[in-house]
Amino acid sequence: MMNRYSVNEFVEATKQQDKGEGLFELETPRLLEINLDNQVWAKTGAMISYRGKIKFEREGILEHGIGKMFKKAFSGEGTALMKATGNGKLYLADQGKKISILQLNGESIYVSGNDILAFEPSLDWDIKLMKKIAGVLSGGLFNIRLEGHGMVAITSHYEPLTLLVTPHNPVYTDPNATVAWSGDLQPEFVADVSFKTFVGRGSGDSLQMKFTGNGFVVVQPYEEGRSSDDS
């Protein structure tokens, strides 16, 4: 019993392990290890530790696909990604959110700006500003469209749920609980005035995202921006 709760036991139980899974490796469900040998895109501020020679550069992502008229208005969103370049091990996390790794094999996916953690530079990407709901979303003014071959790591508060969308069965979601959706879906924003009566929150509560077509939508059991209410 002398070894119970010993420092050695703790180190043994929690120490980093190489699982041989390649570039992206889930060290724990909430901590991503990147075995970096060139370059990767990551959410600014997500680095919690690294070893090796890695250089970090902030990137003004709004310069990559949105007119200059938006750049000034949303400059706070303009540094949401950083470039990590070099060789070593990079550890990323985002507020203890659960991490999911997706290997894209030619598909495309949209990810909310709140929920992108990292992706390979081999993927084509573009920023899409969600102007219609800029006043509704808590910091999620933009989403990122990724396409091609490579890995992307996304985050969700708690376990994500994926809902299949078919032409005869559209899916409606709360914008603040929407994590990602398949690239062939185009959400439209619909207002349901009666819905506001049940929620009893601000003016944006009645706005929903409606997905139609063939594909999937990923949601989380949490609304971004509600943490101040929870604390």
Domain CATH code at residue 100: 3.60.160.10
- Give residue 196's pLDDT band: very low, low, confident or very high (50, 70, 90): low
Task: Report the Cα–Cα distance between both ends of the chain, in Å, rounded.
Answer: 38
Lowest model confidence (mean pLDDT) among 44-48, 51-55, 74-78: 74-78
Query: Is residue 191 a part of any domain in this protein?
Result: yes
DSSP result, 42-76: EETT-EEEEEEEEEEEEE-GGGGTS-HHHHHHTGG
How far apart are the C-alpha atoms of 145 and 133, rounded to whole Å?
A: 17
Query: Is residue 136 a part of any domain in this protein?
Result: yes
- Give residue 228's pLDDT band: very low, low, confident or very high (50, 70, 90): very low
Residue 225 in this model has a pLDDT that exceeds 70? no
Average confidence (pLDDT) over 80-100: 95
Q: In the predicted model, what is the mean pLDDT of the chain?
A: 82
What confidence score (pLDDT) does residue 51 get? 97
What confidence score (pLDDT) does residue 2 get? 60
CA distances from 174 to 6, 48, 102, 113, 169 (A): 46, 30, 23, 15, 17
Q: What is the pTM of this model?
A: 0.82
* Per-residue model confidence as pLDDT tens digits over 119-166: 999 999 988 877 666 555 555 567 899 999 999 999 999 999 999 999
Q: How many domains does the chain have?
A: 1
Where in the sequence is the domain holding 134, given as residue range(s)?
22-223
Lowest model confidence (mean pLDDT) among 37-46, 68-77, 128-137, 140-149: 68-77
